Chains A and B, each alone.
Chain A
Amino acid sequence: MLRRLAQLLLLASLAPAGSAAFAQSGGAQFELGMQGAVVAQAWNPLRLVLRDLPPVELEVVFDQGTLRSGPILTTYTASVAASRGVRVFEDELFVPDWRSIAWTVRSPDRTVASGTLNPRQRDSRPLTLLVSSVPGSWLPSLPDDARPHEMAASALPSSAAAYAGVHALLIDGTAAAPSVESVAAAAGAGVVVLLTEPLPATHSDLAELVEAGPLRLGAGWLVPVRSEQVGQALTSFAGFPVASLAGELAAAHPQELPPVLSRITITAAGALYALLVLVLLRFGGDAGLPAALVVAILAAGAGWSLLRPERPLLEESRAVVVAAGGLGVSLDTLALRSLPGGTVQLGRPMRLLGRSSFAVGTLGTRLPMARWQRAILTGRPVLATGSLGWEGELLVNRGERALTGVLVVGVGPQLPLAPDEERRAVPAEEGWLPESYTSLLSYLPEGTALASDGRRVLVALPPFGGEL
């Protein structure tokens, strides 16, 4: 009886329209998260539906502050063109560990709609999406800490970033079939997609993908399961934590600072200059002052050219691509250091690692920085083709650039891979490895291949891993 009651409560929580992240007012309908289910500390889909409105600006403000720290605001803004009839605006934005979320839709002359999210909705647990006409029947199979959420197949996004807060996607064939693109985007982003067998003919496109059994695709999995294996599959298969890996990669890399003379050298040079000036003034006679001024100008020029850093903003951009089964997910990372401080403008939307106020929008990111402050940002995950991969037992490079620093976890360093080269991994003694790998190794399962094409770190996950 109690179990039945718990199931009913869970069922009630599945209804997306009951969520406060879904709100309609004026001519605007705002939805944050997967049909209103927001996942903190993850990229979430955002959807704004406008009806017969002039151009508007959407502003979403996240406050991560505490009583002690004061407000720490992340502000998202997007401009949406005028809507004759219905206009749908969709994007993805990173939702931090928020205390409050407030959104406003403004036209040039008035506030069209606004709202807030209930702080009790704050939850960083990843979602388990159920594409089913009988979602309640799957609840007993889910682990205790799962966060189930009913999802219409047509509402599944087709961008990888929207799935950053999703752990699993269950498709049981009782509802309409989702598009292959949506399922591939989910798997590529690191979601465990469970396809219960047997699937009806309407789902034949999906069934074909898993004819040969579980398939690692991108950072996630496509897994055919029988109904009674769902719970086991959810615990034994896990998506690869791409975001953690990218953050680690950016944070671990020491940023090169401008060269600085030692304290002794700069003081000795200064003392020498002071002495020279005093001697010239004292013993230079009538030419003493002009000579001292010439020395001052020369010293100033030399000091400036020797000590002035070339650029006020030091940027180190990196990318990591995690691939398997011919599909990959790519994540950009950016390490910044602003020497004078001030506001840094970036031409793309990114998220900031760590708690600090910043503004992001469809056009870019604006980040206030203190003097010499370092900031690490990551972009949103996007689907990509990984040039490094496993084809059977062969390690292949399908890209146009040679791959260096090749390493197979558990096997050892390998020789560089030329474009279109394929080779069997051979056990090797320890060899030279890029420094950036050290921090990544703890994330990588045995059999993972790692390489660098100069711009990106490529990770090829092994085709094996989970078991039923």
Chain B
Amino acid sequence: MPTVQQPAAPAAEVSISAEHLVRRFGDFVAVNDVSFHVEKGEIFGFLGPNGSGKTTVIKMLTGLLPLTEGSAWVEGLDVGADAEGVREHIGYMSQKFSLYDDLTVAENLQFYGRIYSLPPARMKQRIDEIVQLNGLAPYMDRLAARLSGGWKQRLALGCAMLHEPKLLFLDEPTAGIDPVARRELWDLLFELSGHGITFFVTTHYMDEAERCSHVAYIYYGRIIADGTPAELKQIPEVQPAGTHRVEISTPEITRALRVARKIPGIRSATIFGESIHALVEDRYDLPDLRAQLAKQDITVSDIRPLTPSLEDVFVELTYKHQAQLEKTRD
């Protein structure tokens, strides 16, 4: 496919359009021909191991890092040509929450209001709206340092969206906060996305990835999966024709894993919590499999069919690409 150097501005319903992004640091290719599109109102989950290029892509899309090659459009603006304009329309929240601990909740909000040059009346109105939405009202005069993790994160989100951005980048927004706060944040994201705000979210939590309307998986600077969670679970690399997935419960899980990996016809096997997830060729049905394992003295307490989770998808794809990378290296 020929690379188009200057594509026209994307259609109006597209929030982010990344075309063949490349970023090199010297010889190192941090981002390698990355293309994806995020539609308005989507919650786009951007996943990948640490050091795989997630942060670099965010820096490129927010105009902090010049593109080595390719082009990116954010909210209808060319990032390369008008990074300043882009920053007016986006919000950003890092995993550190980036608050001023020694300022009060109100002062933090006011500071970001001033940074985005909101007129005083507008600022007051926006702060009221955000406080209403986030439930921050009882804490307005409290120092940010004295908020719990969940409230800090709500405040950080409030600061990031004070200027009514149409697109919000959330870099691991739920790292290190408790499960209840995590759930509540996601409820809030859904509500906001219902109002047409687009979210670009990075996360390590698979349950969060499952809740995204669109996910992409980046591995060593390349996007290796891109689609809705449902679509990804159907792709042939994950669910090759003639195979199915099973979940095997057994008390001797580590020995069972070693055994399972040696059985021909089991394509792959991984431990998930208390059970083993295996990709099995269709020539084995469940009783066959149980018999095979029993032959090796493995007691199977339960065995049942399984629809792949996103985690299965990413594990599978990562194995495939690791093998490929090693092959090209040899």
* Same assembly: no
